[in-house]
Copies of this chain bind each other. A is one copy, B any other.
Amino acid sequence: MKDGSPSPDTRARIIAAAEQLFRDIGFQKTTVADIAKTLSMSPANVYRFFASKKDINEAVAELMTGRKRIRLEAVASEPGTARERMRRLLTEMHIMMAEFADADAKIQEMVAVAIAESWSVIHDHIRDIDTIIANVVREGIAEGEFSDVDPEVAGPCVRAAMTRFCHPSVLVMCRDIPQPTLDEQIDFILAALGAGRQETPRRAREATRAT
């Protein structure tokens, strides 16, 4: 680089290398020297971008939660009624966290460290999930599918009502508790949002009237 300032591309390469090493050899065992070696650079160069290994882990945690957010936003914006989209979104949240619960110990260690050391990243991720849910609630109200609830309150309530299916530790601890099923819990949540009592959303009713 001509101006000597840290390149965003190098930053991204360090994060990618760190994530790969965390997955391959584990978070605790990975040193900044290992990350530098993978990229054929000096540890001093890594430290130009990150003050500490904690900062690298935080960046990896942001990358991972960012991927999950994108995946959930994509599911939430697929075509369908708000009720259908909410069901798909909550099912995807469950699948995503069940994948994590089944992942190997190295990935779980990485996330445990993220929770302990980079709580703000996890907290932001929880807020992102609340926002994605709240947006589907807002659209459902606009479509006349859901009751006139406060989406900002409903988002966290829906997320909390899914804890048994979406919190990685709880998923593992509650594996042997048969009830409720995922679909029963989603039906329950949809009822709380006022869906289900009015089977045909307003848009569909208007479309029917128009024909």
Binding site for B on A (CB under 8 A): 119, 123, 126, 130, 147, 149, 153-154, 156-158, 160-161, 163-165, 167, 169-170, 173-174, 176-177, 179-180, 184-185, 187-189, 191-194, 197
A149 proximity list for chain B (CB < 8 A): 191
A158 proximity list for chain B (CB < 8 A): 188
Question: Which of A123, A126, A170, A176 has its CB near the most chain B CB atoms (within 10 A)?
Answer: A170
Residue contact B180 to A160, C-beta cutoff 8 Å? yes
A153 proximity list for chain B (CB < 8 A): 179-180, 184, 188
Q: How far is the CA of A185 from the CA of B153 in the complex (A)?
A: 9
Given A157-B188, A161-B188, A163-B170, 6 new contacts (CB under 8 A)? A157-B187, A160-B161, A163-B164, A163-B174, A170-B170, A188-B192
From A152, which residue of chain B is reached at the shortest CB distance?
A: B179
Q: How far is the CA of A123 from the CA of B154 in the complex (A)?
A: 30
Tell me which of B160, B177, B185 contacts A185 (CB under 8 A).
B160
List 5 contacting pairs A-B, 8 Å CB cutoff, sorted by A. A153-B188, A157-B180, A160-B180, A161-B161, A169-B169
Residue contact B184 to A156, C-beta cutoff 8 Å? yes
Residue contact B130 to A179, C-beta cutoff 8 Å? yes
Query: With A170-B167, A177-B126, A180-B156 as given contacts, are A191 and B188 in contact (CB-CB < 8 Å)?
Result: no
Tell me which of B119, B161, B187 contacts A176 (CB under 8 A).
B119
A175 to chain B, nearest CB (A): 11
